[in-house]
Amino acid sequence: MSATCLTCVDYRAQTRHAEDYWTSRAGVFKRIDGLAQNFTYKLVNNAVRITAPEVGVEWLHWDDAGDARVCEECQLHSRGGRNGFYYVHWFLPQMPVHPNCRCQWALMLVNPFRTPE
């Protein structure tokens, strides 16, 4: 066999291995870990949204992870509202936006604006 054919065979083997990963023991544990992370982020962010008006907080800020791996959808939300600030009585975007989302709400204890729009 030529080197090209061996490369094709190796590629097919790697692809088949990648497809089998998610049904393997390590893949299942990775999926469970991802689900747990998403559940935790959702629980914490919803708690912030619910308690903010009750403790007198009027504004929330969408904080993304702030690194090069932040996706376009999260960047869009971090610039939404009033440049990333959301009034608590507005319709707020759901967080997490996607699996493995690392965004979170930040409570604004000082009002960054005079009056809401």
Q: Give the number of domains in the chain.
A: 1
- pLDDT digit string, tens, across residues 58-92: 999 998 888 888 888 888 888 888 888 999 888 88
**Domain presence at residue 100:** yes
- pLDDT digit string, tens, across residues 88-104: 888 888 888 888 788 88
User: Considering the entire predicted model, what is its pTM?
Assistant: 0.66
Q: Give dist(CA 64, CA 102) in Å, integer.
A: 6
**Domain presence at residue 20:** yes
Angle at alpha carbon of residue 82, lines to 78 and 103, rounded to 5°: 20
Tokens (6 digits) for 33: 């870990």
**Domain presence at residue 117:** no
**Domain presence at residue 114:** no
Q: Which domain holds residue 38?
A: 3-108
**Domain presence at residue 116:** no
Distances (CA, A) of 70 to 1, 50, 93, 99: 44, 26, 17, 12
